[in-house]
Structure 1
Amino acid sequence: MIALYKINSPLAEKIADILYKFDQKPTFYYSKNSLLDQIMNPLVLITSCSYIEEVETLHVPIVPLSINLSDVEKVIQEENLYSNKWIIVASKQEIEWLKLEKNLSLKDHFQFIVKDNLSQDNIQKNSIFFVSAWENNFLFPPYLEKNIRYVEPSIATITSAVRQALSLISITRDMLREKYQVEAVVNSAHDGIIAVDRSGHITLTNENAKHFLGLEGEVIGRKITDYIPHSDMVRVLQTGKKEIGDIAKIFDRQMVINRFPIIISDKVVGAVSNFKEITEIQKLEMKVRKKLHHSGLEAKYRLMDIIGNSVEVSDVKQQAKLFAETNATVLITGESGTGKELFAQGIHLESNRAVCPFVAVNCAAFPESLLESELFGYEEGSFTGAQKGGKQGVFELAHGGTLFLDEIGEMPLRIQTILLRVLQEKSIRRIGGNRTIPLDVRIIAATNRNLDEEVEQKRFRSDLYYRINVLTLELPPLRRRIQDIPLLVQSMIAQFNEEREKKIETLEEDVYPFLMSYHWPGNIRELRNIIERMVLLNNGPKLSISQSPFLQKLQRKNYQDLKENQLSLKQGEKELIQYALNKYSNKTMAAKSLGIDRSTLWRKIKEYNL
């Protein structure tokens, strides 16, 4: 197909007349969007040099239409304009070709001005301006209208362009041949493949797709919704977002479906989908489990999504990335609110289990009896109220992926015993069941307790502790990474602006100093709570402490805590010095054991009246 782009009617008619003689029916387009609708179909484009930049990103054969010096000389001769200066006004690309022609033909009596550079400074009243016919919408000063001559390309020029376009048809045929080759490759694939254009018309399919979807006869050109009324391809065309690993049942077959938008020049011009039947038992098992228990089975945050540039956070992220390369159990420690689950998700997504389920369970959220069934599942009739058909536990749901056991320090001792056996045998047995179910699950555990002390107090099994504490990741509290607070606050404000329909743009000068002086016992969770309250209470575009009266109470509490901590530190120092003095009769030895010099020790003795 030969298409004419932004060519005015008289000239377009001339080109069309020539094309008709070669049994070619041209199409006419006047906007890039209208061309994009046809981009999936092979075509040759004829347009003026002025519009080449507009369409060159479409990646189709383009025949540039341009006037030449002979066309200009013809006008000069017909109107007897030999006594005037001659200036050709055209696009930059067109002038480059005209200058080349001028140099080759030794015609040095022409001057050239790029149309975008035309100004009062380079307009000479006694000159004749020659402009391409397709530039008739170009505005000249009214007093120069009599000096303007619009130059039509000669029949020879038009014929040459048409001849070139006709010769390029063979290239489009080659493109079609390549298309047929692609179709042959597509038809040889084991997957079902189907592609649609921007309007949802089918442009490509293979025999497997026809078989899976029950398509019969010629389907190319038909709308996908004629066969699948609620096709998800329509959504991909609208959103321009790819969809990977969707699960659907088609004619009693369980399918894994991937959908991709086709994007050219930042515009969605089509979409392609490939899908296949699930035949491998383990893949079917993992995908079905994910479908049946969708909530909580996917990790969302990568390590790169964790906000913070401080050395403390950077070191932990680097260590977590290293841990992700293994399948060893990881124990994440840290105070409440430091982001332990974020790091667990990040480790999962950096590992070779990233495409498999990520299941999180809070061990402190369930009483003992419910925690056991939540972890290991149960069979039908195993207890009063048991769900018909039984229930999978989180270990089964996480098969092939990662199980995150949050607050593992809160787990009752009896459940710890069962968990230890599961980790050792890599299999589970549901409550009330006799069947042993093999598992492939990586464990990431987290706690804000000191498990060493818990083991000493007999509240945590030492053998389980050694089993889960293979790799340890200690997260720093927020007070040790206060330089990250501005980044965290900015991210939180952006999120709350969107969620709460607010427009907070900046912060008062006193906000950051306050936030960075507070000791943050609740860490990032507490920071998030405070920022959300400030956003909700704020009335303008600038976040301020004055509009958040609850912060005054927080300031007083912060001052009191700091004062108490200071007193506590002094008391501890006093007791430590007293212990050293009692242990060593020699004050030099006592000072050395404390890591201070003798004069400092004497000063402390005097300060504490020891």
Structure 2
Amino acid sequence: MKSQPSDADAGDRPRLWAMGISRLRDLFFDISNEYGDRADLRVVPRGFEDAVKEIEAAGDARPDVIVAGGSNGAYLKPRVAVPVVLISPTGFDVMHALARARREAESVALVTHGETPDEVRRFAAAYGIDVGFASYRSVEDAELCVLDLRDRGVGAVVGPGLVTDLAARAGMKAVFLYSRDSVRAAFDTALDVARATRGEALRRQRLDNLLQHMRDGVVALDAQGKVEAINRSLAAVLGIDATEAVGRTLLELAPDIAGALPDADGEALGSVRGVSYVVHRGPLANNGAAAGTVLTFQESRAVERLDRTLRSTQRTRQFTARYRLDDLIGDSPSMQRARALVQRYAKSIATLLILGESGTGKEMVAQSLHQISARRDFAFVAINCGAFPEALLESELFGYEEGAFTGARKGGKAGLIEAAHRGTLFLDEIGEMPLPLQSRLLRVLQEREVVRLGSTEPTRVDIRVIAATHRALTDGIEAGTFRADLYYRLNILNVALPPLRERTVDLMPLAVELLLQVAKREPRLRARVKNAEAALRALAALAEPLSRYAWPGNVRELQNVIERIGVELADAEGAGPAVLTSDDLLAIAPEVFETRPAERDEALTLRERSRHVEADEIRAALASLNGDREAVCQALGISKTTLWRRLNGGNGRK
């Protein structure tokens, strides 16, 4: 059923469908004739699933915009590819409906679809209207809501058509919420939306006509990356149907071209289905503002020799450094020296080797150095060399070309070395790297270029390498598991991190900071541990047993124990500040109190290992300074006597 048009040219007017049942349907019919000269307005007495079917069956005759109310409109919005305008009651509607309901019954409730708007609650409060509020999200929910209100003694209900029908059937007074003015406002909004939609369609048609006359492949994307227009040249290259591409994302249509697209406005070289192209990216302007992107694909035969400097702009979240120099907590001389070295070495581009036991914070040092270096605006790429099988580590580090091995991604993949271009590559547990990969890494360090698996074409890279290890690499050299030339290439600069047992003065400040970090994640603990003073009071009685423990897992182990302490503090009884005793610590971390007969022998072994590491540092410095001992002493800040003693005692030999 339609309103009667005032002219015969209905095809030029926006098509509006007013979809509603019961009382809203009747209101639509009453008003529809007012819009006969402005819109092809059709009142469709359908709701929910029946309404969806009616729209889908319309085909090309479907409406430009749909007007609906309450739950019906909310149901249609995500299910139809047509804009849906919801009818919103005005403040006068609410006031008038509530006033009518109060004349019908003493107890009144306002029922709305979804949460009751705050402005409605404020309106009722401002005018002193005694009214209950309820909401629903589905037909079944509305039925239960009305029955609940009836059982609670509510005599009159104000709401949309669905609710008022249910209330009437339940024997309650019912007042329809929507008015003629609110429906007219929805119709006017729908007309504006329809005109805008038709204007956008006309703009797209003009754009498409322009693109079809261009020789190069061109595609116009909206702000969400969906295709607005694509010419036949590019559609043929991508192997897609141009008529079916509009409205779908480009990467959904052709996921293989992701690596060929520039991340920002400008040009880049890329490969599309085996053919090389210069890809230009520019803004798609609308009324002077950028509303999307235009991509132009121009065929090129020189793409394989492209200098891939564009990779430096691709800084993703997974390749960022989180830790800063201030995160290296501790005022012990060894930590002060470590921080000083980090600040000094951040000014250099030389390769750095970080030495230290597991859990001492080697990656934290690497990240903090990157953060204060000239490369901080580029990627920080970290990989654990001991966490991958050899074949997987090789492909992750160096990347691969399409078809390099079974299961290789179509189009190939850049490795982590390439991803770190102009940034920092952190190789953790470098001592675990397999020998065959050590030779390939050595070439990267020497030539600053990488060759992907399955390729013969090297790619230039500008990276700074930071490596870390918890073992003496010279032992690996003697055992034949680590290349000496790679060791000397890595150990140009070095930082040795002390184990926690050798800097017990830092233990309590570390424990306090770790407890504060736990409190940030745990609201119950945050109420008890609000600042560093509160954290120190909570841990004060634990200082002695914590300081006596050797901490073989270093700061990482301390963090685990503090996590347990945080849970215990959060669960403590009472509302005031909580403190723990040694007995509490014994219950939650008994290993802290364990004494082992071999503890002294283990300590000696650790000291010997520390001396061995010091000797390694000195030998590396001698190698880099051509054996000049005076220069080595000056560089390391030690005397000649200390240098001689450490060299002769580093391996436990006199």
Which TM class, normalised by the smaller chain length? 0.3 to 0.5
Q: Which structure has the larger Rg over C-alpha atoms?
A: 1
